[in-house]
Structure 1
Amino acid sequence: MIGCKLLRNEDGATIVEFAIVVPLFLTLLIGIMDVGQMVYGKSVLTGAVHRAARNTSLETRNTNEADASVLDAIRPVLPGVTIETSRTSYYDFADIGRAEKWNDANANAVCDAGETYTDENRNAQWDDDVGQDNSAGTANDVVVYKVTAKFKPVFRVPFMPKLWTDRTLTATAVTKNQPFGNQTGYGATAGSCP
């Protein structure tokens, strides 16, 4: 009889259920907030990068102010964030990611010794990307502006310390500078591949 009463006794069942459900619920809730912060951060970062790229495409542009405006926009969303920026300028949209012209005698898609190239970006070497790095470009140039933001998550998901490491978000904007002057063309210096 005593054993049957013990089996039917439900005192404390709520506490046990609570102890099982609460950690799972809190983990799910914090995980949702963590993903929400990243999605919102990506949205704010993308908007700030596009706005900064548009502002720097004007004649009165200042790249340092544009970078600072991106940081100011995302700092409230991603506390402790640091950013790395890069700009690559091209003569035209068709040149994005294009290699400098060269005579590929052996057809291996690499500028090998003995092959000649045209130094279009005037840096005295053959490049697999004709763009000029860290350049805001000149009039009518196309500029690829990329920002990489690194931050520590505010909401750290319990029981998953591998997810507590630094996070990285990137955003890229492509703009064409305003025609405030004459566009500088590519160079025509010839060179030999190394």
Structure 2
Amino acid sequence: MMKRTKLNRLARRIRGNEDGMTVVEFALIAPTFLLLMMGTFDMGHMVYANAVLNGAVQTAARDASLEGGDTKAADDMVMDRIDGIMPGVKLKTNRRSYYDFADIERAEQWNDSDDNGICNDGEAYTDENGNGQWDEDIGVEGNGGANDVVIYTVEAKYEPVFNVPFMPKQWKERTLQSSAVKKNQPFANQSSYSSTAGTC
């Protein structure tokens, strides 16, 4: 009986004792809180990096649209602006020019006699971009000439600054992309499309 009373008193004392509860609560909450915090920092950094990339791409596209615009210098400027923000960044740039805005991603004109949307089986076409073949996209690689419309696209691959633990391996590399569409200054007469005929 005496033993049971002592046990009851001890149980009451233990039940009322809250020493160490904070440590247990911290151990339960801390991993989730830290994961949430790292994810927030990672998202914030990505949004900031994307904003800087967009600004740099707009400036580079505008600079390259002037007479004598230096595309290499424009690409280097984009790299300079984002290099310190995106660790180990690798840039891939592309410029595609068109005669007018209406021509963006337009196919070269052809006689689609079988109505399948592809130039084939000896169908006649006009080689408007002058490359000797029919193209689904009439655009020409490069910065174009006077008064041409240019789509400038930059893809940046980098390692996130804040690596969120327990995330898949594909999250170890982040890819951001930005594009700008600009019309080159009319510093000369614009070259018109070719009228050379061909067959597919």
TM range (shorter): over 0.9
Q: Residue type matched to 2:172 in 1?
A: T
Q: Residue type matched to 1:156 in 2?
A: N
Which of 101, 110, 116 is matched with 1:108 structurally?
A: 116
- Output aligned runs, 1:1-194, within 5 Å: 1=8, 2-133=10-141, 135-162=142-169, 164-193=171-200
TM-score by length of 1: 0.96
Check conservation: 1:119, 1:125, Cα contact below 8 A.
Answer: yes
| C-alpha deviation, 1:4, in angstroms | 2.7
Check conservation: 1:52, 1:70, Cα contact below 8 A.
Answer: yes
| C-alpha deviation, 1:166, in angstroms | 0.8
- 3-state secondary structure, aligned to 1:168: strand
Q: Deviations over 1:119-171 (max 9, x none)?
A: 111111110000001x1111000000000000010101122244642110000
Distance 1:192 1:163, change over 3 A: closer
| C-alpha deviation, 1:60, in angstroms | 2.3
Single out whichever of 19-28 and 162-171 deviates more from structure 2: 162-171
Alpha-carbon distance between aligned partners in 2 of 1:184 and 1:96, rounded to the nearest angstrom? 16
- 3-state secondary structure, aligned to 2:38: helix
Check conservation: 2:152, 2:181, Cα contact below 8 A.
Answer: yes
Alpha-carbon distance between aligned partners in 1 of 2:51 and 2:18, rounded to the nearest angstrom? 50
Check conservation: 2:41, 2:162, Cα contact below 8 A.
Answer: yes
Alpha-carbon distance between aligned partners in 1 of 2:34 and 2:113, rounded to the nearest angstrom? 63
| C-alpha deviation, 1:3, in angstroms | 2.3
Alpha-carbon distance between aligned partners in 2 of 1:82 and 1:35, rounded to the nearest angstrom? 20
Alpha-carbon distance between aligned partners in 2 of 1:89 and 1:161, rounded to the nearest angstrom? 38
Q: Which runs of 4+ in 1 moved over 6 A?
A: none
The sequence identity of aligned pairs, in percent, is 56
Cα RMSD after superposing both structures: 1.1
Q: Residue type matched to 2:193 in 1?
A: Y
Between the two proteins, the alignment pairs up a number of residues equal to 192
TM-score by length of 2: 0.93
Q: Residue type matched to 1:149 in 2?
A: A
Which runs of 5 or more structure 1 residues have no equivalent in the other structure? none
| C-alpha deviation, 1:23, in angstroms | 1.4
Alpha-carbon distance between aligned partners in 1 of 2:26 and 2:118, rounded to the nearest angstrom? 65
